[in-house]
């Protein structure tokens, strides 16, 4: 199942919670923006399940993989 949100910048998600992967397609993102994958990873670690007393105790590894739209750490606009 997929869903989309946004008008100027549209995020379409795909996959399922306990499947092989969850993904997203971000349409409308401009070219020439530095993409810091280490920063994205650190932000994902902040919301990792089991990292706070209030969160779930699930222990799932989050891994980011940008498959297209970035070249040498810079967004391509595609």
Phi/psi for 38 (5° steps) reads -65, -40
- How far are the Cα atoms of 9, 33, 34, 37 from residue 72, in angstroms, in the given order? 22, 11, 9, 11
Determine contact, residues 37/43, Cβ cutoff 8 Å: no
Tens-level pLDDT at each residue, the chain (78 residues): 567 777 789 999 999 877 888 899 999 999 999 999 999 988 888 776 665 566 556 666 678 899 999 999 999 998
This prediction has a pTM of 0.69
Domain boundaries, the chain: 1-30, 33-78
Helices (DSSP H) in 1-78: which residue ranges?
Answer: 37-46
Residue that is written with structure tokens 């993989």 in the block:
65
Q: List 23's β-bridge partners, or say none.
A: 14
- Say how far apart CA 23 and CA 64 lie, in whole Å: 9
């Amino acid at each position: 199942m997929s869903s989309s949100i946004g008008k100027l910048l549209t995020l379409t998600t795909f996959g399922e919670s306990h499947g092989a992967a969850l993904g997203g397609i971000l349409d409308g993102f401009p070219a020439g923006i530095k993409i810091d994958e280490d920063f994205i990873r650190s932000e994902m670690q902040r919301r990792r399940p089991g990292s706070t007393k209030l969160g779930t105790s699930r222990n799932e590894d989050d891994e980011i993989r940008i498959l297209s739209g970035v070249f040498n750490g810079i967004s391509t606009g595609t």
